[in-house]
Amino acid sequence: MSAPQILNHPVIDDYMAKLRYKECSPEDFRRFVRQIAMLMVPYATSNLPTRSCSVDTPLETASTRVLDEPLILCPILRAGLGLLDGFLTLLPQASVAHIGLARNEETLTPEPYYFNCPSRLSEAEVIVLDPMLATGGSASEAISELKKHGAKKLRFVCIVAAPEGLDTLQSNHPDVPILAANLDRGLNEHGYILPGLGDAGDRIFGTE
Ligand code: PRP
Ligand code: URA
């Protein structure tokens, strides 16, 4: 099991300050989430496997390397969709899996409602996307479902993690590396991350 990577990156944190602000409009919220996603891509992909190849430059043949595909991005609906576009902008060759999970606001357990995955799941590097890791129930469930369908190489990317979510996800899936932009203090009695972002799905889609 590797320790979760918490970025605390100066540029991402500058966006985080804007994203956390309660008066941030859905339009701006979506834009900041997308920009944070793009800034996280190099960290989320830094150890992806590559294979060597040669390319003819105008002067000579260069030995270089390219990504060893396939690569699958898997946003957890809905809020994970907010991260998808930023990842796809830099990784346009990726396929996309969708997992629909809605957290029951009383029990705080995730209720599955949709699953659609590309083939080749078992060979692919799968990057699961969700801005919020709160209790860790949704991320754990999504990863269990992907493993059930054959996924073997997974990583999880979120914007804000709570210590409770990190513990749960690590104990349920110790093989899955976790990358978060920020680690927050904890959860309130309703399972919301403090200080957090509020309800990320509602803020991305303007459904508050
Ligand atoms: C939010 C969030 C995560 C989940 C995190 O989704 O996007 O998927 O809650 O909470 P957890 O770690 O306690 O499971 P939600 O179920 O509210 O659905 P939404 O994305 O449609 O808003
Ligand atoms: N889901 C969210 O969108 N926000 C939280 O703080 C916790 C779960």
Q: How far, in Å, from the CA of 164 to the mean position of ligand 1?
A: 14
What ipTM does the predicted assembly reach? 0.98
CB 193 within 8 A of CB 132: yes
Supply the pLDDT for residue 65.
97
- Quick one: which of 3, 45, 2, 5 has its CA closest to 183? 5
Q: What is the pLDDT of residues 93-134, one digit of tens each?
A: 999 999 999 999 999 999 999 999 998 899 999 999 999 999
Q: How far, in Å, from the CA of 68 to the mean position of ligand 1?
A: 31
DSSP-derived secondary structure for 128-183? EE-SEESSSHHHHHHHHHHHHTT--EEEEEEEEE-HHHHHHHHHH-TTS-EEEEEE
Supply the pLDDT for residue 2.
87
Q: Which atom of ligand 1 is nearest to the CA of 202?
A: 22
Q: What is the pLDDT of residues 146-203, one digit of tens each?
A: 999 999 999 999 999 999 999 999 999 999 999 999 999 999 999 999 999 999 999 9
Ligand 2: lining residues by beta carbon, under 6 Å: 79, 132, 134, 191-193, 196, 199-201
For ligand 2, mutation pick of 130, 159, 199 (most atoms within 8 Å of CB): 199
Q: How far, in Å, from the CA of 146 to the mean position of ligand 1?
A: 17
Ordered domains of the chain (ranges, CATH): 5-205 (3.40.50.2020)
